[in-house]
Amino acid sequence: MAKVKCPTCGKETEYSTENEFRPFCSERCKLLDFGAWTDEEFALPTEETDLSEEDFEKIERALKEKENL
């Protein structure tokens, strides 16, 4: 069986269908990881930009054009 490191604690565990918590080593590690996601400790990087007045006008025009189709 393939061995992987648990993403939470780093313990080596088997990556098989017999391990219901894979890729985690235990339910505890799986729940800790889930809790970190829900607490927004992990996040995908984003690039925030502010829309200009011109951007809003383009969006409004595109929506009006779509309505006229």
- For 10-66, what is each residue's pLDDT tens digit? 999 999 889 999 999 999 999 999 999 999 888 888 887 788 999 999 999 999 988
Whether pTM > 0.85 for this model: the answer is no
Tell me the pairing of strands 3-5 and 12-14.
antiparallel
Q: How much is the pLDDT for 8?
A: 95
**Greatest Cα-to-Cα distance within the chain, rounded to the nearest angstrom:** 60
Asked if residue 4 lies in contact with residue 13, where contact means CB atoms within 8 angstroms, the answer is yes
Handedness of CA 37, 46, 61, 67 (dihedral sign): negative
Q: Is the pLDDT of residue 1 over 80?
A: no
